């Protein structure tokens, strides 16, 4: 069970997915090699042995980056199994490259939120309730 974050690039900045109309198509984010390099700059030692799957293990937990086969890449899905400390580098990655990170549960964009960790915190509480037990990220 993971907290999923959808990363993409638009022609304008959104704060919630409800704002995206029919004209809100994705812009190219870069080549797969550029995506790999951008991720590795903030998530060192990400394992890209399978080019479509980047696996990062760090002090806050793990993130799996799912990158499409399309060139140029137009979206990346993050499957997060980590604590709140993982959110800051995700936000930094997006701000540095003009991307947006949508919390797929809340429909909000992390880099536009006053407390970007809020979605992960709420998801962790939900997961705990569903599983009926305490689980660390």
Q: Per-residue confidence of the chain (137 residues) as pLDDT tens digits?
A: 799 999 999 988 888 888 887 776 789 999 999 999 999 999 999 999 999 999 999 999 999 999 988 899 999 999 999 999 999 999 999 999 999 999 998 889 999 999 988 889 888 888 888 887 655 55
What is the count of structural domains for the chain?
Answer: 1
In a domain, 22, yes or no: yes
In a domain, 136, yes or no: no
In a domain, 19, yes or no: yes
In a domain, 137, yes or no: no
Please give the structure tokens belonging to residue 76: 């990346």
Q: Per residue in 83-115, is it b (16+ CB within 10 Å) or e — as a string?
A: bbebbebbbebbeebebbbbbbebebbbbbbee
Indicate the pTM of the whole model.
Answer: 0.89
Domain housing 125: 3-78+86-131
- Which residue from 124, 96, 122, 125 is spatially nearest to 111, judged by alpha carbons? 96
């Amino acid at each position: 069970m993971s907290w999923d974050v959808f990363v993409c690039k638009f022609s304008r900045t959104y704060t919630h997915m409800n704002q995206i109309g029919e004209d809100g198509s994705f812009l190219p984010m870069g080549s797969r090699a550029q995506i790999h390099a951008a991720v590795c700059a903030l998530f060192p030692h990400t394992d890209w042995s399978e080019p479509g799957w980047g696996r990062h293990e760090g002090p806050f937990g793990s993130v799996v980056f799912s990158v499409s086969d399309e060139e140029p890449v137009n979206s990346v899905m993050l499957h997060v199994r980590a604590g709140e400390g993982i959110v800051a580098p995700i936000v930094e990655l997006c701000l540095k490259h003009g991307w947006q990170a949508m919390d797929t549960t809340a429909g909000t964009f992390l880099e536009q939120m006053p407390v970007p960790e809020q979605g992960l915190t709420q998801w962790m509480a939900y997961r705990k309730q569903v599983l009926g037990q305490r689980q660390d990220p």
